[in-house]
Structure 1
């Protein structure tokens, strides 16, 4: 009997280790895809996030495209990562999920990349709180695109977040009102070994994991470039 119990416990521990490793791989892929999205968008300045916006960003959230089976029927759902600016650089990422709304993650069967940019202290505070609804808890607007973010809009004054989408090679601002950005607790535990508070991670009090360094460096790179050129 003792041998059977030991065997069952050993199998359970083994399966747990396999599951944890698989989740680590998913996080690494998500973080790498998030870096790719930023890099590809900013590689075309005339069609990317304006430097005047990125140079003033407090936080950047990227929800990269997902593979088959990643969408829930009747709802919109995606996972990604976020990093915030601190006095010593950009923070380690937090793992997030975005759900709700009928904005259409799929156009003609193709998934959509999303980018959210926190533009002021209020946006940062919402990020530190880990969960909020765009358009209700946090004011959000479809962001302008291109080299010049000239204003026929009031985003500079009123928007805590500017929101963007990319699908089929097209990049544009998008209305995400009604969607909820929330902590992805399971992925946070897989990434850091514990469900760390957003405030601790985004304040720069947690070292950047190895699998997240490219995402954080890519964000920092385009922030610095935008600062220099703006």
Structure 2
């Protein structure tokens, strides 16, 4: 009986510690996503073109994918997404990316991914609980170069544009076969209560203070030309 009570006490004590660890991991993920965007946009000739940033409806960043994940075929990475609303960019929601092939040689200690939704259909894709790129969602490797006029093909054929950054090299990437899934557990932990992705990404949920640096960074780079 004493052992049983001791186990219950240990479990009760460990739960707050575990929750704190999860919150720290989420905060670190947001910081890494912000740093990824800053690093990409500091190199204009290898950045996301202005016309794409101005038209984007949502932006997702998956920082620091590890090479080992590709070897074992496990979870590729965890990321964060925000969408444009009528009053700025939304609070973040959290996603997972699994399976498929990234269509390029993985190298270095980690690879960052960026997904840019280019229209309302692309935004609706991110509101799904799960979707597969190249399956029920059309995506293309995004063009690079801040002043690039870019090809018109993505305007006609793609809901999402995809990019990778590894060893300082930033380029469009083929993510065909990769599944994107909502991370409901981390999203609930971050907000302290359950909210749907639609509520969050349409700007109906006030983002916690920890989200502000990431959201402000997205707003700084992904400015709209519309008034």
CA distance in 2 between counterparts of 1:68 and 1:169 reads 16
Q: In structure 2, how many angstroms separate the alpha carbons of the residues matched to 1:97 and 1:107?
A: 19
Q: Which residue of 2 aligns with 1:42?
A: 41
- 1:123 correspondence with 2:122: yes
- Residue 142 of structure 1 and its aligned partner are, at CA, apart by 0.3
Aligned length: 226
Deviation of the 1:67 alpha carbon: 5.9
Normalized against structure 2, the TM-score is what? 0.91
Partner of residue 162, structure 1: 161
Instruction: Return the alpha-carbon distance in structure 2 between the equivalents of residues 69 and 11 of structure 1.
Output: 33
Give the equivalent residue in structure 1 for 2:78: 79
TM-score (norm 1): 0.89
Mark the CA change 1:86 to 1:210 in structure 2 (over 3 Å): closer, same or farther.
Answer: same
Separation in structure 2 between the aligned mates of residue 72 and residue 194 of structure 1, nearest angstrom: 35
Does the 8 Å contact 1:51/1:227 carry over to 2? Answer: no
Classify the secondary structure of the residue corresponding to 2:55: coil
Aligned equivalents of 2:105, 2:18: Cα separation in 1:
29
Asked if structure 1 preserves the Cα contact closer than 8 Å seen for 2:107 and 2:166, the reply is no
Contact kept? 1:143, 1:164, Cα under 8 Å: yes
Instruction: Report the equivalent of 2:135.
Output: 136
Cα-to-partner distance string for 1:13-67 (whole Å, 9 max, x where unaligned):
2111110000000000000000000111111111100011011110000000146
Q: Deviations over 1:99-150 (max 9, x none)?
A: 1112168733432100000000100111122321111121100000002343
Q: Return the alpha-carbon distance in structure 2 between the equivalents of residues 180 and 68 of structure 1.
A: 17
Kept after mapping to 1: 8 A contact 2:29/2:79: yes
Hey, what does 1:174 align to over in structure 2?
173
Where in structure 1 are there 5+ consecutive unaligned residues?
none
More divergent stretch after superposition (5-14 vs 181-190) = 5-14
Where does residue 112 of structure 1 map in the other structure? 111
Aligned-CA RMSD value: 2.2
Aligned to 1:59: 58
Unaligned runs of 5+ in 2: none
Deviations 1:50-91 (A, max 9, x none): 011011110000000146866661346110100001101111
8 Å CA contact 2:103–2:174 kept in 1: the answer is no
C-alpha separation between the residues in 2 aligned to 1:56 and 1:114? 19
